[in-house]
Structure 1
Amino acid sequence: MMGIERIKTTLGDNDHPYRNGAWTPNFDELDASNMEIIGTIPDDIDGLYVRNTENPVHDSIGRYHPFDGDGMIHTMRIKDGKATYRNRFVRTRGLEAEQEEGGPLWVGIMGRPSDSKRPGWGAHGSVKDSSSTDVSVHAGTILSTFYQCGEGYRLDPDSLETLGVESWVPEDGISAHPKLDENTGELLFFNYSTTAPYLHYGVVGADNELKHYVPVPLPGARLPHDMAFSENFAIFNDCPLFWKPELIEQNLYIPSYHPELPTRFGIIPRRGQPEEIKWFDAKPTYVLHWANAFEQGDELVLDGYFQNQPVPPPLTDFPAGYESMGASIDLHSFQPELHRWRFNLKTGETREETLFDDYPVEFGMFNQQMAGKPYRYVYSVTGEPGWFLFNGLVKHDLETGVAERLDFGEGRFGSEAPFVPRIGATAEDDGYLISFITDMVQNRSECILIDAQNISAGPVCTIILPHRICSGTHATWASAEQLDGI
């Protein structure tokens, strides 16, 4: 195990619920290959597991939200039945400036924009682009992204060295969730802002060059978090939860839910123009994340996580000032369930149904070789009541309606669990699910691999990490071919 120069931090003891416990940040950057293994690392996979993490380095200006933390990338390289772990901070321009300053310079998403000491980033231009939300692998490198809209940072998948801001990113940045189509090598993205036309959509080729960029006009400033795509279309949403327009004029950004408005979906050909967008109305809700989308006859089918309580009641047992924030990121409060929308591209009709409603689920993953195509399986997380912590997984069989569940165990919290195809796989679920686990009982972290065809059996392999890592959310798996064979 090799340690790297420790980053400078001014974060001291505090009682914030998302800077302690499973969310205690890390400051050490490590390389490790000689780790304790429980079970046997499968020798029929070859690739890289990558997870992004909100990991604050300094105290906050104003109230801290867990989505504000500085980006830290954790990876596990698996090849020939062996594993190597590495973690590094994303050296964003904001992090480097605060390292030089020796303290925080920007407010977070719960702060007052006027309290930032310098102009910032994000859809409202005042927060730090911490690049700590999502992560993907495109054109042979890692791309980390920010919760609202940011610059997008490239990292070397082997060393995790930050290579800098992505060259093709437009002035309004890119949202947290660009979408990779493994079948074409294209990366689809969008951004949003407080000025008309309020949303743009773009396509980056497999060669990492911007190929297409067009406006998607909206009625006003919105807060879309994710997008989806099928083989021929990209899908955007205009949900009735958005910043209060009258407060934007006062440089305040407070979201409000408008259940009297429908949820609207804009469907555009993947290289289409604004005049080709078709809009569909559906039941009011808010959706953080989509699963997959595909075309079926005249219909486009979209799966995602419908929220039954987009603005839930505050958590009464949370620290003062954080009651509403706590509820807004607790699955049991906003009550998401796996939902399906069907848009008839000829008649303009929308049909929708709930697929599974046994318990709240979110952060769905699926076999990315099926992206944009008809598929059968979704792998969702379950949440710890009252917390933004994932305590288990559910395998949803969309064909039979059967849900198979795995509980991580008391005090054990995981992250999004990407699907890892076996080499030579012959079935959609022939492979593994992979996740980092933070175990608060044993005071350690692990990387687990689960047989996707039998998830209730638990891990087939557990790799003990060299340190306990902060809880995290979004993750991806990239095959050796996607990594150019590193």
Structure 2
Amino acid sequence: MTILYKNEIDFKIPPNEHPYLNGAWTPCREEVDAVDMEVIGEIPKDISGIYVRNTENPVHEAIGVYHPFDGDGMLHAMSFHNGQAKYSNRLVHTKGLQAETEAGRSLWTGIAGNPAKSEQEGWGARGRMKDSSSTDVVVHAGHILSTFYMCGEGYMVDPETLETTGTADWVPKEGISAHPKVDLATGELLFFNYGKDAPYMHYGVVGADNKLKHYIPVELPGARLPHDMAFTENYSILVDLPLFWRPDLLEAGIHANGYFPDLPTRFAIVPRYGSPNEIRWFEAAPTYVLHWMNAWEEGDEIILDGYFQENPDPDPLDVPGLDKRFGKLLANIDEHSFRPKLHRWRFNMVTGKTTEEHLDERILEFGSFNQHYAGKKSRYLYSTTTKPGWFLFNGIVKHDMETGDSESFMLEDGRYASESPFVPRINAKSEDDGYLVSFIIDTVTDRSECALIDAQNISAGPVCRIILPHRISSGTHATWANKDELVTV
């Protein structure tokens, strides 16, 4: 292995027993560039591009109870070309991180904290919160775009150096949520935001030239907490879910989630460049959905796949020996507590009716699919499974949506995957002609690796494992971009 660059990060977090600051969630304490890494198997020569994962990697000790979604964004990237690989990782240099670095301490409380204890106003739909840019990551208009789930500015990162180059100048004052969507067919980026002030949501389109083209209000009954959106070739799909801040407590400045099962799930379907009066609203069974998968148009219907939660407001987990303050936090990020199931919604654009059904009874989430089929009918979907009681991915399931068949790959105990996007082979012949790529954290050997799995035979496990120069922290989302998508416009 050849280390081209190494920088030790001055972390301010003392040893502690927090479950999401230890084990697979132990923060990574250095930034490096590395080539000529140990390879088990052979790096495929039929892929060219970059795999990027965003991780929560806190630098300073939290004010109050730390939530894993509060950590500072750290991007880990593996670039592939002609059978060679380069690894890099860098903190996202947000304005909040820069301010805390200068102060030498945390200045803002996180999701489990009291906003009144923040020392400055900050960002986010909640307010008085740091935009840590640690949730999602996509590639658009030749740049990596890192985003924060509670809405923030959106940070642009150079895909070659992983250096933060600034905030996206098209982001409106209301911010941008995590999970903007890139349509590879048009080069457009679709996004939304949400907050505590009417109309409570907006939706927009950014062109392939990285300029804002369209931005409209989406009126909701009150403050809501959506997390994701979807699109078809002609429409964008936004959502009003019945889990949101309790209005009675919000008036007192308390941001406590409540689940209101007497309210339906509502879907806003709007033409991509539509006006507010063109929004069509559809109702469905109450639930909460973290992540949608693909959506497409078929006859009179729009079809949407995602992960329907059967228990959106789970009881706290009681873990022996662990501070009971963590109980609700642990349950809210434990899939075996909120029980997401792969689900399909059908919206009839003529009758206005919604039909829906589970597609799989297993607990599944954090899926991926071939992004060249985004907005069009696709056949294959790849879900992750998790370790009960933990936000840790321990397996991948490939779904054949045409036949209903599936196959799985499960990791050994103590080994945990990342969100695993689909990587198309160069000159791919079919939708699943490619690989799944994932960073693996091995808590047994205390190392990390990047694994490539043949998408047409996932049960066989990795065809290639590249050993990283250090162990990385777990986190949330990842993306893949082909080399031709990295050309700056």
The TM-score with structure 1 as length reference comes to 0.99
The 2-side partners of 1:99 and 1:485 are apart by 31
Whole-angstrom distance in 1 between the partners of 2:141 and 2:463: 31
1:440 aligned residue: 443
Give the match for residue 346 of structure 2.
Answer: 342
* CA positional deviation for 1:485: 8.9
Conserved in 2, the CA contact under 8 Å of 1:140 and 1:482?
yes
1:303 is the counterpart of 2:305: yes
Aligned equivalent of 1:319? 323
Where does residue 368 of structure 1 map in the other structure?
371
Deviation readout 1:176-207 (Å, 9 max, x if unpaired)? 11000011000000000001000000000000
Of 329, 336, 346, which aligns to 1:332? 336
For residue 286 of structure 1, report the CA deviation from its aligned partner.
0.2
Does the Cα contact within 8 Å between 2:141 and 2:488 map onto a contact in 1?
Answer: no
| Counterpart pick for 2:169 among 167, 170, 174 | 167
* Equivalent position of 1:403 in the other structure: 406
By how many angstroms is 1:2 displaced? 3.1
In structure 1, how many angstroms separate the alpha carbons of the residues matched to 2:6 and 2:37?
18
Name the amino acid aligned to 2:336. H
2:274 is aligned with 1:283: no
Per-residue deviation, 1:473:
2.1
After superposition, give the CA deviation of every residue in 1:366-404 in whole Å (9 maximum; x if it has no partner).
000000000011101000000000001000111111111
For 2:164 and 2:231, locate their aligned partners in 1 and report how far apart those are by CA, in whole Å: 29
Alignment of 1:191-202 (within 5 A): 191-202=193-204
| 1:29 match: secondary structure | strand
Amino acid at match of 1:54: E
Matches within 5 A, 1:200-215: 200-215=202-217
RMSD (Å) for aligned C-alpha atoms? 1.0
Tell me if the contact between 2:266 and 2:283 (Cα under 8 Å) persists in the aligned partners. yes
CA drift of 1:31 comes to: 0.4
Q: Check whether the contact 1:299–1:342 (CA below 8 A) recurs between aligned residues.
A: yes
2:274 to 269, 272, 275: 272
C-alpha deviation, 1:4, in angstroms: 3.4
Q: Which amino acid aligns with 2:329?
A: M
**What are structure 1's unaligned runs of at least 5 residues?**
none
C-alpha contact 1:8 1:99 (8 A) present in aligned 2: no
User: How far apart are 1:7 and its partner, in Å?
Assistant: 2.6
Q: 2:384 aligns with which of 381, 399, 406?
A: 381
Q: Which residue of 2 aligns with 1:158?
A: 160
Q: Identity rate of aligned residues, in percent? A: 63
Structure 2 residue runs of 5 or longer lacking an equivalent are none
Extract structure 1 runs of 4+ deviating beyond 4 A: none
Q: CA deviation at 1:301?
A: 0.2
C-alpha separation in 2, matches of 1:114 and 1:2: 44
The alpha-carbon deviation at position 407 of structure 1 amounts to: 0.3
SS of aligned partner of 2:111: coil
Shift in Å at residue 450 of structure 1? 0.2
For residue 22 of structure 1, report the CA deviation from its aligned partner. 0.5
Give the secondary structure class of the aligned counterpart of 1:356: coil
Q: SS in structure 2 opposite 1:436?
A: strand
Q: Indicate the residue corresponding to 2:63 in structure 1.
A: 61
Q: CA deviation at 1:88?
A: 0.2
Aligned to 2:230: 228
3-state SS, counterpart of residue 482 of structure 1: helix
Aligned to 2:181: 179
Q: How does 1:64-213 map to 2 (within 5 A)?
A: 64-213=66-215
Cα distance in structure 1, aligned partners of 2:10 and 2:219:
43
Q: 1:252 to 1:485 in 2, by over 3 A?
A: closer
Q: Distance in 2 between matches of 1:112 and 1:469?
A: 29
Q: What residue number does 1:390 align with?
A: 393
Give 2:6's aligned residue.
4
Distance 1:485 1:75 in 2: 18
Distance 2:483 2:311 in 1: 41
